[in-house]
Amino acid sequence: MITDFRSYLFAQSRIAEEEGNRVYEVVVGLVTEIKDDTKLCRIKVKIPAMPITDNTHICHWVSVGGANDRGWFSLPEVNDEVLVAFEHGDLNRPIILGALWNGKDKAPDNNSAGDNPRRVIKSKTGHKITFEDKEGFFQVEDGGGIGSMKIAKEGKIELTASQGDIAIQCKDAMQILAGEITITAKGNCDLHGKSSGVDATGTAGVKINGNMVMLKGSTIDFNPGGVAQAATASGTVSDVADPVKG
């Protein structure tokens, strides 16, 4: 409690001194280091505009949905431009509000038409997720331009690998249900069943076409359990020499 005028002046001078060391405006900083040994994902930032000897600050980073073991994890890179605020103006409590695009650091999309149809998430190596509202598609692309997945508004889904393979694996059963299914291979098209074999069933019939059709197995049954019918064959039979009589 202030009991005399001298104490009042002293208290006011302390307040003025403390206020003189506070910054209530947001300032622009440059990221100098992103490694935090405490694993709190704090970021070291240099603030060129602040007229103090040590203008480097260790800042907390504002994240979308940041909480215990969840949230949007995307730290800035060294030399990125960021916007910094100070809790209650205290220089010892800096917080990075976000990163800034500028003349050097370009945005992943420029909204040149002004209709703002896209939302884009892009990593530093080029991995990109695009939400396109005008053309109506959602797309995931890898940074090398090799693989992509695209879901279009008309319901078409495209999974593309310009190089390498596509592998689909699951522990139990996998079902593919469609009105029509077409499988085309530039080379061989193989179907393998390790335990129960491979079944091909069609209510209207099953057709096998090819320049050469080979059936191989320890046992081959035609129409097993059905009505016995005569088998017919047509073609040219070549004379073959008797291997015994010559």
Which two tokens mark 101? 């695009």
149 shares a domain with 86: no
61 shares a domain with 27: yes
Does the residue 179 lie in any domain? Answer: no
CA-to-CA separations, 100 to 59, 83, 104, 130, 133, in angstroms, rounded = 16, 7, 10, 20, 24
Number of independent structural domains in the chain? 2
Write the CATH number for 70: 2.40.50.230
Which pLDDT tens digit goes with each residue over 161-216?
A: 988 888 888 888 888 888 888 888 888 888 887 777 788 887 777 888 878 888 78
Nearest to 63 by CA among 87, 38, 41, 36: 41
Full residue range of the structural domain in which residue 51 is found = 22-99
Please tell me the distance from the alpha carbon of residue 81 to that of residue 9, in angstroms, as a whole number.
42
Kindly indicate the confidence band of residue 235, based on its pLDDT and cuts at 50, 70 and 90.
Answer: very low
Which pLDDT tens digit goes with each residue over 89-147?
A: 888 899 999 999 998 999 999 888 899 999 999 999 999 999 999 999 999 999 888 89
Please report the pLDDT score of residue 150 as a whole number: 94
Does the residue 2 lie in any domain? Answer: no
Which pLDDT tens digit goes with each residue over 25-57?
A: 899 999 999 999 999 999 999 998 876 666 788
